Chain A
């Protein structure tokens, strides 16, 4: 047991690591891992885990085609690790056969999810060779011609997550087509733009050949298309990549006319173009053929949002990892945190999205782009949509938002995460999606009743961003997904989520359909997402079991809603009995109203 002066006296950490009974040790160490259907054992081995929190721990490691699992066999410290191989970024040998010192021979594993793992092995008999080679092979299957686990798993779920997002249905929900915007299938074979989805919404007046001409002037053919349209004022959010202006300042009449059509669609005097980049970066892009819209775009104003590029964000998160793992830089915690600039980047992304949302809600259409329009652009459009449209603040709505603005519009998940790829130093990797999730979390903290989902959903999404267990975040674009029959051969993450929704629901959710949420993007009101970034540190684990209480509250709420519905029904049937003019539109008492029905009822239908 802890000595009295332990936790509050020194940095020794022992109070949080529970001890196990001798009895449990008698059981097979690895018997308690439940393998997923399709998951297979590759190798297991006696090993020492050099735990940064409780020191060297003897135990056994199991490697499967999906995970690395470790369990201690020490009676005093119960340590388990359960790491999807997809979360591994780098595997290195540490020390050699002749290395001196205790535990100097082993493996160093760098993870993508804010932790590193270090294992030590016996120096005799090249005990590291087989495990290193097998781990290296299965952690980076793509580099070894192996399939990702998503293609191997045999998991089955009640719900089919692939049916969550149907592009045409979503556009219809927004009120499309109308007399200003139409749905086009010009990209059905991904010929107009190979990184765009097949279904696009474009200005009604724009003909297919115009779209082709515009695509020649936009980086990678990513023409401006509709992301979202305001139901009442018809102001639109359009997204695209940078115009190919170049050093010589090229112009393209079709592109200019096209942007003016977007402005014209809701009849406002000026179209605002938000260039997510800092001004200087936009100028520098001219040298490589890109650039930004100049004065030749009449009736348009250009605003730079000063958000930095993927490399800056990667370095910032790396700095953050340095100060939180394995040990938190405690002596100057706040100034160290400040020096990572992570929260400052969050602030800039959020405040950019606020500007977009504000412009749109005041009736002005906007175009958002960065360089290629798949990183910062996705952050800005999706966050602005989250602020403007309460549908995206529901459990299913967030799924649609991610499927639409991130997955279908070609955020390069494979390149940014490096799924199954051994090249850990790839300059294309960047935590852009993590940053987006952080912004969603910041919003949910500022508006505790506005989101139907809870923090656990965000954590689950980020876990499987790396895990490669689901097809959801695989590949860079829709065309690649089609080619690889992703929907047919893999399971969607939303299948997992939607088969057990109660785990991800916020009991305090109060739908407010018309409301625009403007978070405060001030440093004073932003917080580090400790439960994500420092979740491996046993010191900051959840202090009390809130989740159980929330589940109870959800049940209580459902009970309340049921009773309320019963009261309402008995009232309306009484009214109906009283004579004509009673409310006949209410559902028949025979169909017991579920919570979902109740809420769709409360919301203004789209």
Chain B
């Protein structure tokens, strides 16, 4: 396919751009195969906006307006500017929640631009996405991709070698298409048994080890001793799943295991919650006295609460009770990963550094088969019919932010990192969040043809930006408070494009620089 087929109008002059935190500006709009580029006409301002088309969630064409409005913005503009011709307005709503407005002279051009954006922003073909074309000058495709592998993870975790082994039963992805080629399983279980177990689990996702608690030798996921099974569905839902051929572990067959049901919303419900929340946040009406009710009605914070408390429960079972825990929902690629990731952050100090956290995300979300492509294809603004979209990863980042907010010293990374990840998951220059599983990434040679976000975030310059200056390593578990009065709206993300949030971002940066500088001079 040629991208140019979709670009009828590549350049438009005299476009007026309005974007949050900036005054309106006039300049040239340019559509390329992957980007929307706006360059300010005033050369000295040198302002450019480069937006990945993939970042655009919705384009809204508002009614044709004549240029009165246009002159209202630029009272000094010459009358020669085709004053009689009509112009069209496009409202561009992005997945990072930014809302831009473009006033484009000439209806036809405006419609052409809208058409191009609509098509190019939702291309399905992964191999044509921007990460496959992104070639920064300071990086090579031969650079190392990824932070760790299941093999290396296993090698490093010496403590578990006694009872756990690395199995390559899935090396050609035939046993479980969404698992990585190597997984950690109990030593006592042979590959044949794993194959059988896989046939009995939805999507072939047989139980594998995700976390081994060094302090007391218990594991999240599987163990030979009796332990807990945390089912992220309600008992009723699990019962219903039985009718569909799925189900839950019955008491008689799994003796010694105690089943705990924690109902976590998924799929459409979660996506709709996000849509409601974003709608409330973007409400421009001056009378905001129903704000708290709207926030409550979106139920987003109650999803945050459920996720954190389920993760807390998991961590309690492992850390306090010393039991092994098996976690699953139905497919095990959404809420399961969410709570196992959070629980590790709560219990394991090594996950709380910048490097540790990114490695955790790589292992528990990317390698473990969270279907990013499906879940993040649209965000809160899209008018397209909902398919498999679900903001599980965003919910995870929000929960991590709550931890960060409650424990300002315990995490080695900053809010800025969480914001960056929230943006990159939906549209990115990098290949990290492409595809739905390791198998798909392997088929498309993502590791050979794109650059790795996690690697880039750890380069010295970026790293400095994303560290928490107040960080103090802390061996203890960090138990979050999950009471509604302790949970806050993540303003940094949901109200990101407001002046106040922008100001606080700058202040955070000032504080970081301040502390770094004190450290340097005081220790010199």
Contact = CB atoms under 8 A, between A and B. Distances in A.
A532 to B, nearest CB: 12
A447 B409 CA distance: 20
Interface in A336-365: 337-338, 343-344
Nearest to B309: A8
Contact of A560 (B293, B507, B521): B521
Given A328-B483, A524-B291, A546-B408, A557 B518 contact: yes
A543 B478 contact: yes
Contact of B408 (A1, A5, A544, A564): A544
B115 to A, nearest CB: 35
Contact of A6 (B228, B301, B316, B409): B316
A522 B500 CA distance: 10
Interface in B281-329: 281, 288-293, 295-296, 301, 309-310, 312-313, 316-317, 320-321, 323
Contacts of B320: 1-2, 4
B517 to A, nearest CB: 7
B486 A4 contact: no
Given A335-B296, A540-B485, A556-B518, A7 B289 contact: no
Interface residues of B, number: 57
Nearest to B469: A553
B470 A549 contact: yes
Contacts of A15: 479
Contacts of A368: none
Interface hub of B313, B408, B485, B517 (most chain A Cβ within 10 A)? B485
Given A543-B481, A556-B522, A449 B321 contact: no
A129 interface: no
B426 to A, nearest CB: 23
Interface string A255-293: 000000000000000000000000000000000000000
A334 interface: yes
B410 interface: yes
Interface stretch (B156-164, B368-376, B508-516): B508-516
A534 B485 contact: yes
A446 interface: yes
Given A5-B260, A544-B478, A563-B524, A520 B485 contact: no
Contacts of A249: none
Interface hub of B323, B410, B495, B521 (most chain A Cβ within 10 A)? B521
A498 to B, nearest CB: 25
Contact of A508 (B321, B511, B524): B511
Given A4-B320, A8-B312, A530-B486, A522 B288 contact: yes
Contacts of A212: none
A448 interface: yes
A438 to B, nearest CB: 15
A448 B511 contact: yes
Interface of B: 228, 260, 281, 288-293, 295-296, 301, 309-310, 312-313, 316-317, 320-321, 323, 406-410, 470, 472, 474, 478-486, 488, 491, 495, 498-500, 503-504, 507, 510-511, 514-515, 517-519, 521-522, 524
18 contacts: A2-B320, A4-B313, A4-B316, A4-B320, A7-B479, A8-B312, A338-B292, A448-B504, A508-B510, A523-B289, A523-B291, A524-B288, A544-B478, A549-B470, A553-B470, A556-B515, A557-B514, A560-B517
Given A328-B484, A333-B296, A522-B288, 7 more contacts: A5-B260, A8-B309, A8-B310, A335-B293, A448-B504, A546-B409, A560-B517
Interface of A: 1-9, 15, 324, 328, 330, 332-335, 337-338, 343-344, 446-449, 508, 510, 520, 522-525, 527-528, 530, 534, 539-540, 543-544, 546, 549, 553, 556-557, 559-560, 563-564
| Closest 6 pairs between A and B when the two form their complex, measured CB to CB | A4-B321, A333-B484, A334-B296, A8-B312, A338-B292, A523-B291
